[in-house]
Structure 1
Amino acid sequence: MESKRRRLSKLDAPKNITSNEKIMDDNDFIVSKTDKKGYITYFNEVFMEMAGYTHEELMGANHNLIRHPHMPRIAFKLAWDLIQNGKEFFGFVKNLRKDGGFYWVFAYITPDYDSSGNIIGYTSFRRKPPRSAIEQIEPIYRLLVDEERKGGMDASLKLLQNFLKEHKISYNTLVMSLQMGAKL
């Protein structure tokens, strides 16, 4: 009888984080699908190449395996809140590679439905973000992560809401504007 292999998760992510960035090619797209709990059910070759894991390691792994510690948890909470309620999510994400390095993506996540209209999983499409967007979002993410360390996700959410209010912009408008090359 064949033993069932253990699924990888964020607990299996590398602990030795480096500043080595892998940059996506301009025409590359990363595609992955997960079930409702975030376990990977499909991915393309570009995802494997960027993440640095083998097919066997990624298939069935929890997508949080590539969650970089520099990413604010509030970003993932916003994403999950939207997609679990049948809405789309757009955002900039710094992902963790198996070698401890990282890569940035502009992510679009949408729910997948069965024939009865029930959410059965999620599909994520990612492409290379403009460098100008990364340069503007990274300091915001650092502030949010610092705030989370001090006061948890509620404090981070409050900081994000205050930032958006101060700039008189919605989250989606912020993200789409940065993706189109706008400056804050």
Structure 2
Amino acid sequence: MEFNESEFLIETIVPENELIISRTDLRGFITYANETFAQISGYLIDELVGNPHNLVRHPDMPKRVFKQMWETLLKGQKWEGVVKNLRKDRGYYWVHATISGVYKDGKLIEYKSIRTPIDYQTKLKHQKLYDEYRNLDNENIRRVIYT
């Protein structure tokens, strides 16, 4: 499927009063997605459940952020961070994510993620930071070319 680079410029704003909630198995495959997650991401719940959570990973996100996230989670700790996600229509949305383990009888059985909106200054700060990370790590950097 081919997309015009300008499609990556369309932002969906997460409403202030909404929480995006999902759960994944230990490999990162979605086991639960709330209606807000579906609406904001542009997917149906049935399209989300059963797929890896990185289905919504935006190409602007540096690999090091997710490496650090997994390192934190595998230590049994809660991870928090700012994430830019990719919508089904190739637009994007920004969130503050809190991810932690779900335990049953003391055993880790899955992960839960709660995402909330962030303000414009936080988005701008993290976009610049993530561009810098991708540059330092020699990851692909998208450029929008106008013709």
Pairwise same-fold verdict (TM > 0.5): yes
**Bigger-Rg structure (1/2):** 1
Structure 1 residue runs without a partner (length 5+): 1-13, 151-184
Amino acid at match of 1:111: G
RCO greater where, 1 or 2, for CA within 8 Å and sep 6 or more?
Answer: 2
Q: Does the Cα contact within 8 Å between 1:24 and 1:128 map onto a contact in 2?
A: yes
- Correspondence for 2:96 among 77, 102, 106: 106
Structure 2 residue runs without a partner (length 5+): 140-147
- Cα RMSD over matched residues? 1.3
Deviations 1:73-132 (A, max 9, x none): 1001111111121101110000000000000000000011121x2211100000001211
Structure 1 position 15, deviation (Å): 5.9
Identity within the alignment, %: 38
Instruction: Name the TM-score, length of structure 1 as normaliser.
Output: 0.71
* 1:16-165 equivalent positions in 2, closer than 5 A: 16=3, 18-115=8-105, 117-149=106-138
Q: Does the Cα contact within 8 Å between 1:15 and 1:100 map onto a contact in 2?
A: no
Aligned pair count? 136
Deviations 1:52-83 (A, max 9, x none): 11122111110010000000110011111111
Give the strand-richer structure, 1 or 2.
2
Instruction: Name the TM-score, length of structure 2 as normaliser.
Output: 0.88
Give the helix-richer structure, 1 or 2.
1
Q: Does the Cα contact within 8 Å between 1:91 and 1:106 map onto a contact in 2?
A: yes
